[in-house]
């Protein structure tokens, strides 16, 4: 069982690497230039010790010191150093350009995928966790990728180059160096295998922590109102503790790599020093060649330290890349058919036939639901919490697709039309308000950006939002954030109502649209809604039954089923579940008034 898990991890890791290389392929020109520049930089860097050896021989050779030879060598070293510096700078430019363009592409892919993900994915994952993948994980991936290209190419080229130069000086001592080299590979490989899973766990816990922080900041008022500050703190401490342990574990194992490879490097340097000293005594090497060889031995072992560090960082990068690729490869929402129709000339005919739907297979919700709505009808949907009222709205807007049956608008199955044209046919005002960062004008004109100033102000007046906007210092140019800034819940809801009134949609969906508005303003807004609903098919989700007396059809839902259907008077006369709900609210209202 453990073997299968290990094999799956290896397969997943190799698949992730293939995806990374596919992204690299788009910028292969930068890869080629980076390799060429790394080769030039390494070749000249490795040529300098050979020149240094010549200079040493000019100084310690028998007879007199050759100052002209030393000066000539120093000039050559200076030229090599300048060219090496330029090559390294250009290589870093290429690597940075390539890395950040790849990161840009991945973030674009991730954001586009979020735009087409089904709502069940967004509902089923904390927002902070998704944000962590797109921001933190991609940044970690970029750091690892940049380090990889900056140090991996130069490291490999240095190893190959030093071997070539050492072979040109002395084959026997080079053999001593190569003989000890595999130990470094073994050590680095042994540690790298164990660090990947640790970095993966670290990345997952970091996403969990980001999700918790995002949720708590967004709902700080609720946390404080219910005195849950200590509980949330304990929850954060627990996640933070796990993240700390994961960080320490991953960092500890990855940090072993450098000292372990340094120990091996010291063995190499010692072997070269001893073998070279005997060779110099026997006259097989000059003092200058020995100094060059020692320098090469040092440069030969140095990349193993760097590459081991790169491998560790790259393990973290691959773990982060895997999480972001998992998001990018999530199953998108059901694509629209190639011949999808544009919904036009909407009159308001809506038909629901034998619809069944549930969020999870084991928990049934809506079963065999049927409904036929004529143009201009006002359809009220009432029932206890969890009976499927808002779910029905989600299905009408095709935020979720039905499991069985069909929903049609103007005798066309909504799955055969474009989502954009379907949703453009509805105007929605929900209990939960939604605003965007921008001016009040931008928020009202979101549905109709081409509307004139006069039309916008008329809609604002109709929704009774104009009066409070006029009192603001900057009026309609007042800047707000997505949480509404200093606006009250009622004012935010009025803005959403104004947005719908400006759009003049063919059909309306009102889900407790006036729940946060004071009674006096609600009466005025209901009058405006009355004018807006004339001739428009309207679906009203209501908890206060007093607001739906004028509805043409009232659907009474319970456990996903329509158990009663009719107008207000006929349902009261039946004395069924609607009558029970209505009398319960009347009794509560009466008791409250009496108190």
What whole-number distance in Å separates Cα of residue 562 and Cα of residue 569? 18
Per-residue pLDDT at 586? 63
Structure-model confidence comparison of residues 484 and 382, the more confident one? 382
Band (406; pLDDT cuts 50, 70, 90): very high
Q: How far is CA 240 from CA 135, 207, 211, 212, 218, in A?
A: 19, 11, 12, 11, 19
- In a domain, residue 547? The reply is no
CA-wise closest residue to 30 among 97, 87, 88, 86: 97
Q: CB-based burial of residue 19 (10 Å sphere; 0-12 exposed, 13-18 middle, 19+ buried)?
A: middle
What is the pLDDT, as a whole number, of residue 189?
Answer: 67
Q: What is the CA radius of gyration of the chain?
A: 36
Residue 312 lies in domain: 18-25+96-328
Residue 193 in domain: yes
Q: Which residue is listed with tokens 């993900």?
A: 117
pLDDT above 60 for 248:
yes
Q: What are phi and psi of 89, to 5 degrees?
A: -65, -45
Inside any domain, residue 446: no
Return mean pLDDT, the chain: 80
pLDDT confidence bin for 244, thresholds 50/70/90: confident
CATH assignment of the domain containing 156: 1.20.1560.10
Q: Determine the pLDDT at residue 193.
A: 67
Checking if the pLDDT of 60 tops 70, the result is: no
pLDDT-based confidence at 117, cuts 50/70/90? Answer: confident
This prediction has a pTM of: 0.64
- What is the phi-psi region of residue 475: left when phi exceeds 0, alpha when psi lies from -120 to 50, beta otherwise? left
Question: Is pLDDT above 60 for 460?
Answer: yes
Dihedral sign for Cα 382, 385, 390, 395, please: negative
Task: Say if 436 falls within a structural domain.
Answer: no
Q: How confident is the model at residue 149 (pLDDT cuts 50, 70, 90)?
A: low
Burial (CB < 10 A; 0-12, 13-18, 19+), residue 292, is: buried
Q: What would the mean pLDDT of 378-388 be, rounded to a whole number?
A: 81
Q: Give pLDDT, residue 309.
A: 65
pLDDT (tens digit per residue) in 271-287: 777 777 777 777 777 77
pLDDT grade for 408, boundaries at 50, 70 and 90: very high
Determine the average pLDDT of the residues in 428-456.
85
Edge to edge, what strands does the sheet with 426-429 contain? 426-429, 507-511, 537-541, 378-382, 553-558, 561-566
pLDDT at position 594 over 50: no
d(CA 498, CA 460): 5
- Does a structural domain hold residue 516? no
**Residue 371 covered by a domain:** no
The total domain count for the chain is: 1
- Per cent of the chain over pLDDT 70 is 89
Counting residues of the chain whose pLDDT is more than 90, the rounded percentage is 2
Q: Is residue 285, in this structure, part of any structural domain at all?
A: yes
Q: Specify the pLDDT at position 62.
A: 59
Position 334 scores a pLDDT of 81
């Amino acid at each position: 069982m453990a073997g299968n898990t290990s094999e799956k991890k290896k397969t997943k890791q190799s698949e992730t690497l293939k995806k990374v290389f596919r992204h690299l392929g788009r910028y292969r020109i930068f890869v080629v230039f980076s390799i060429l520049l790394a080769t030039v930089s390494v070749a000249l860097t490795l040529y300098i010790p050979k020149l240094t050896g010549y200079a040493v021989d000019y100084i310690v050779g028998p007879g007199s010191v050759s100052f002209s030879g030393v000066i000539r060598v120093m000039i050559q070293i200076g030229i090599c150093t300048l060219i090496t510096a330029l090559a390294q700078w250009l290589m870093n430019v290429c690597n940075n350009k390539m890395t950040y363009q790849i990161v840009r592409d991945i973030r674009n892919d991730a954001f586009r995928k979020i735009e087409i993900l089904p709502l069940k994915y967004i509902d089923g994952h904390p927002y902070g966790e998704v944000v962590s993948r797109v921001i933190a994980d991609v940044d970690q991936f970029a750091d690892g990728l940049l380090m990889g290209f900056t140090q991996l190419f130069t490291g490999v080229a240095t190893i190959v180059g030093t071997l070539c130069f050492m072979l040109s000086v002395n084959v026997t001592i080079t053999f001593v160096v190569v003989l000890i080299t595999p130990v470094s590979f073994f050590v680095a490989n042994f540690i790298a295998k164990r660090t990947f899973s640790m970095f993966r766990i670290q990345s997952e816990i970091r996403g969990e922590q980001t999700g918790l922080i995002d949720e708590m900041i967004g709902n700080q008022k609720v946390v404080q109102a219910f005195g849950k500050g200590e509980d949330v703190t304990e929850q954060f401490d627990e996640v933070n503790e796990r993240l700390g342990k994961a960080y320490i574990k991953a960092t500890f194992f990855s940090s072993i790599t450098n000292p372990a490879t340094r120990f091996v490097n010291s063995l190499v340097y010692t072997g070269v020093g001893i073998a070279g000293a005997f060779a110099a005594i026997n006259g097989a090497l000059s003092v200058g060649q020995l100094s060059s060889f020692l320098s090469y031995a040092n440069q030969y072992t140095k990349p193993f330290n760097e590459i081991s560090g790169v491998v560790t960082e790259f393990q973290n990068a691959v773990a982060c890349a895997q999480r972001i690729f998992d998001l990018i490869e999530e199953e998108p929402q059901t694509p629209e058919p190639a011949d999808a129709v544009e919904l036009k000339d909407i009159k308001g005919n809506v038909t629901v036939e034998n619809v069944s739907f549930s969020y999870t297979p084991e928990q049934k919700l809506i079963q065999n639901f049927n409904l036929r709505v004529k143009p201009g009808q006002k359809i009220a949907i009432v029932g206890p919490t969890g009976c499927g009222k808002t779910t029905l709205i989600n299905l009408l807007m095709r935020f979720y697709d039905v499991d069985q049956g069909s929903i049609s608008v103007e005798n066309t199955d909504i799955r055969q039309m474009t989502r954009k044209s379907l949703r453009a046919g509805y105007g929605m005002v929900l209990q939960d308000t939604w605003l965007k960062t921008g001016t009040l004008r931008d928020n009202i004109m979101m549905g109709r950006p081409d509307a004139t100033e006069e039309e916008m102000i008329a809609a604002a007046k109709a929704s009774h939002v104009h009066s409070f906007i006029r009192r603001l210092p900057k009026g309609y140019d007042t800047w707000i954030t997505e949480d509404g800034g200093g606006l009250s819940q009622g004012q935010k809801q009025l803005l959403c109502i104004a947005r719908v009134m400006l759009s003049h949609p063919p059909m309306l969906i009102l889900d407790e649209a006036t729940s946060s508005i004071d009674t006096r303003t609600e009466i005025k807004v209901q009058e405006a809604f009355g004018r807006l609903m004339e001739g428009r098919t309207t679906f009203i989700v209501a908890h206060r039954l007093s607001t739906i007396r004028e509805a043409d059809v009232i659907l009474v839902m319970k456990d996903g089923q329509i158990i009663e259907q009719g107008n207000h008077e006929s349902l009261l006369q039946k004395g069924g579940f609607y009558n029970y709900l209505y009398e319960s609210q009347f009794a509560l209202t009466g008791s409250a008034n009496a108190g």
